[in-house]
Structure 1
Amino acid sequence: MVSELARLLQEIMDVESVSGNERALADLVERRMAASPHLEVFRDGDCVVARTALGRAERVVIAGHLDTVPVAGNLPSRLVEHSDGVRVWGRGACDMKGGVAVMLALAGELSAPNRDVTWIFYDHEEVEATRNGLGRLSRNRPDLIEADFAVLMEPTSALIEGGCQGTIRVELTTTGSAAHSARAWMGHNAIHDLAPALQTLAGYRSAEVEVDGLVYREGLNAVGVSGGMAANVIPPEATLTINYRFAPDKSGDEALALLGQWFAGYDLKVTDLSPAARPGLTLPLAREFVEAIGVPAGPKYGWTDVARFSALGVPAVNYGPGDPAYAHRDDEFCPVSDLEKCAAGLTRWLTAPEEAQS
C-alpha cells in the first residue's frame, strides 16, 4: 500500500497543474474514476466529481484541489530517503497532491463504504476566490456538494484540524498635502499620519479564543505600506494594508466592526474577506470521525475551503498528508508514512462492521 501510494503520488505530481493548467490532470482523474463501476462521475470544467449511490443513511464529501503554485525547479518528483522514512519530494507533494493521491486510491478501492461518499477533485484553489472550482461547483451543481459532513484533504501532517480562521484585509489611507521637503511646514505628511495605526498594531497581543473546545490564536498585522512621490517631496498620500486573522466565533461583519473600533478615525477599505468556519466537532459524525482516525483534533490556523462547506451548512474538518509548514516552499515534500496514515484512517472511518452492512 505504501509503495503504491507513493507511486500514485509521483504520477500525479509529474502532471504539471499550476492554477489554470489543470486540464491534463483532471482528465487523468476522470479516466481513473470512470474505470470504477461503483462510481457515478461528473465533470464541471476542470472539477471532477465521483460518488457512490448506495442509498446509505448519510453522505460525506472528501475533497481536494488539483492545482499547485508555480513550479520552481522542483519537478519531476523524486523519492528521498530521510531519517524519518521515505519522502516524495517536489511541487505539489505537500499542497496537496498527497491528499489527492489518497483520494484517488480509496475512491477506487472502497466500493461499499458504510456511508455514501462524494469525492471532489477541484481546480483553481491557489488563486483568487472568484475562480475557485469548488465555489463554481456549488453554484452550478449544488446537488453534488450536499452532504452531512466533509473532509478537506489539506496538509495537516495526518492530524485533524477543525474549522478554519477567517481572514480580512483592509486598506487604511491617509491624505496630506505635497510640499518641498526643504519647506515641510508648507505641506502635510500623510505617512506620519499612519503612526497611531502602526502603534495600535505594534501593541496588539494575539487573542486566544476557544470555539467548540479548540483554541484559535488570532493575528493582526501590517502586511504592506506604500506612499511618497519622490525623495524631496512631502508625501500627500499613504496606504497601510492590514490583515486580521479571526477565530470562527466571529462573522466577517463582526471582524470588520472590531477593525473599525481599533482604527477609529480612519477610513477602511475592505480588499478581501473570507469567513471563518466553526469546527463542528460536537456533532455525532464529527465525533465518529475523530474516534476512527484516532488522533485528537486541533485548530486550523489559516483559511481553507472548509469555510465554503460551512457556509453551505456542511460541517467540515481538514485532514491530509504533509506538513503545512512546507506548503508552497521550493523544497516541499510529503512523507510516505503520512500517505499511509491518512489512507488507513479514512478506510477505518468508511468501512462498516459486518453487522452495519446487513
Structure 2
Amino acid sequence: MTLDLCSDPIELTRALVDIPSPSHHEEEIADAVEAALAALPVEVFRYGNTVCARTNFGRKSRIILAGHLDTVPLADNVPSRTLDGVMHGCGTVDMKSGLAVYLHAFAQLAGREDIKHDLTVIAYEAEEVADEYNGLRHLQQDHPEWLRGDLALLGEPSGAIIEAGCQGTIRLRVTARGTRAHSGRAWLGDNAAHRLAPVISNIANYRPRDAVDIDGLSYREGLNIVHLESGVATNTIPDEAWLFVNFRFAPDRSLEDAMAHVREVVGQHHGVDIEVDDACSAAKPGLSQPGAAALIQAVGGQVRPKFGWTDVARFSEMGTPAVNFGPGDPGYAHKKDEQVPLEQITQVSKALIAYLTT
C-alpha cells in the first residue's frame, strides 16, 4: 500500500488501520511508512521494523514524535469502518490515530526551513508484547542518538489532552513450596498455599499513596496481586503455590527505591522465593521544561498525570522530557470495539501543528 503522509490525518489513520500489523507482523506497515518517509527531504533509518526519520536544519532544539506500529491480535475488526463520526477498528485508538497525526505533522513540516525545531519521527515495532522485543528499547540500546531531543511526544491515546510522565511498574513472582500429600493425611504434607498467607495478608493490608504531587500533578500508586495459582487435585495438599504482585509507583521513586519498597512489603518468609518478572522505571512529567510549557499552552492548558506505564519512560531515562498526547479514550484500547472519535484526530493534529510552528 502507498501512504500519503500529507493527506488528512483521518484518512491516514484509516489507511494505517487497514494494514494489519499485530505484534511481530509489522513488516508490511513498516515498508509502507519507510517508503513514504523516503520521499521526503529527510534522513531515514530503519532498524528491524522500526522506522525513523529526522530533519537536520541545525535548529537549537529538537522535538521527537514517536508511536508504535503494532496492535494486539485482530478480532475481526479490520478493515476499519466509520459510523456517526467514530472510526472503529483494531489500532484506531492504540495507536494508529496518534501515529497518523505525528507522521502527518512531520511530513507537512519536514520541507520547511522556517520550522522552529528540528524534528524526529519514530514509528516502532513490538510495543504490545514483552519488553525484550520493543523496537524503541532496541533503538535506545543500539542507536540512542535517535532518542535524543529537547522534548518527546508519544502518541498514546490521552483524550486529546496531555498526560504527563507515567507510573513505573514492577511485577514480582512470589513462589511457595511445600510437600504434597493426601488431604486425608494432611500432617504428612506441607501446604504451599498456606505459606503464601502472610504474603497475601501483607499486600491486602497495604495502603498505597494516593496523592503524590510532582510538577503540580497528583499521582497515585497501587500494589496488587494480579494472578494467583495453586492446586493439584481436590483431595491433595499442594506442594507449590505462586502469585504475581504488581506495584505501580509514582515518578518520585527510582526503580531501585521502588524495588526495595515492594520487597519490604512482601516480606521474607520461610519457603517462599521472590523473582523479578518485570521492572520498568517511572517518568517524571518534566513540565518545567520550556518545550513542555509551550506544548501545554498550545493545547489550551489541559494536562493530567499518566496512570500506567508508557515508553515516555525511555526518553526520561535519557534526560529527555516526554509526554503522552494522542486522540481517543485509552479505555477502548485492546477491545474488539476499539474506536476513536474523528474530531479528536483533527483536534490533536491542529494543536500539534500549532505547537510546532508557533
Q: If the TM-score is normalised by the length of the shorter chain, which range does it land in?
A: over 0.9
Q: Deviations over 1:259-310 (max 9, x none)?
A: 2221222332111101111111112221111112213211111110001101
Q: Residue 64 of structure 1 is aligned with which of 45, 63, 67?
A: 67
Name 2:54's counterpart in structure 1.
51
For 1:123 and 1:277, the matched residues in 2 are separated by 21
Q: Is the 8 A contact 2:206 2:265 kept in 1?
A: no
Name 1:150's counterpart in structure 2.
152
**Matching residue's letter, 1:303:** W
For residue 335 of structure 1, report the CA deviation from its aligned partner: 0.7
Name 1:97's counterpart in structure 2.
96
Q: Residue 33 of structure 1 is aligned with which of 29, 37, 41?
A: 37
Name 2:13's counterpart in structure 1.
9
Q: Is the 8 A contact 1:107 1:119 kept in 2?
A: yes
Q: Which runs of 5+ in 1 are unaligned?
A: 353-358
Q: Is the 8 A contact 2:10 2:346 kept in 1?
A: no
Structure 1 residues 161-170 or 264-273, which shifts more?
264-273
Residue 252 in structure 1 maps to residue 258 in structure 2: no
For residue 36 of structure 1, report the CA deviation from its aligned partner: 2.0
Name 1:243's counterpart in structure 2.
246
For 1:265 and 1:108, the matched residues in 2 are separated by 55
Residue 346 in structure 1 maps to residue 352 in structure 2: yes
For residue 28 of structure 1, report the CA deviation from its aligned partner: 1.0
For residue 240 of structure 1, report the CA deviation from its aligned partner: 1.7
For 2:47 and 2:181, the matched residues in 1 are separated by 56
Name 1:268's counterpart in structure 2.
274
For 2:10 and 2:294, the matched residues in 1 are separated by 28
Give the 3-state SS of the residue equivalent to 1:125 in structure 2.
coil
**Matching residue's letter, 1:93:** T
Q: Is the 8 A contact 2:92 2:339 kept in 1?
A: yes
**Matching residue's letter, 1:342:** V
Q: Is the 8 A contact 2:203 2:266 kept in 1?
A: no
Structure 1 residues 132-141 or 340-349, which shifts more?
132-141
For residue 206 of structure 1, report the CA deviation from its aligned partner: 3.4
Name 1:280's counterpart in structure 2.
286
For 2:249 and 2:71, the matched residues in 1 are separated by 26
Name 1:195's counterpart in structure 2.
197
For 1:27 and 1:254, the matched residues in 2 are separated by 42
For 1:23 and 1:294, the matched residues in 2 are separated by 38
For 1:265 and 1:160, the matched residues in 2 are separated by 41
Name 2:224's counterpart in structure 1.
221
Q: Is the 8 A contact 1:33 1:107 kept in 2?
A: no
**Matching residue's letter, 1:145:** L
Name 1:355's counterpart in structure 2.
none
Name 1:291's counterpart in structure 2.
297
Q: Is the 8 A contact 1:226 1:239 kept in 2?
A: yes
With the length of structure 2 as denominator, give the TM-score of the two structures: 0.93
Identity %: 47
Matches within 5 A, 1:171-186: 171-186=173-188
**Matching residue's letter, 2:349:** A
Give the 3-state SS of the residue equivalent to 1:167 in structure 2.
strand
Name 2:78's counterpart in structure 1.
75
Q: Which runs of 5+ in 2 are unaligned?
A: none
Residue 307 in structure 1 maps to residue 313 in structure 2: yes
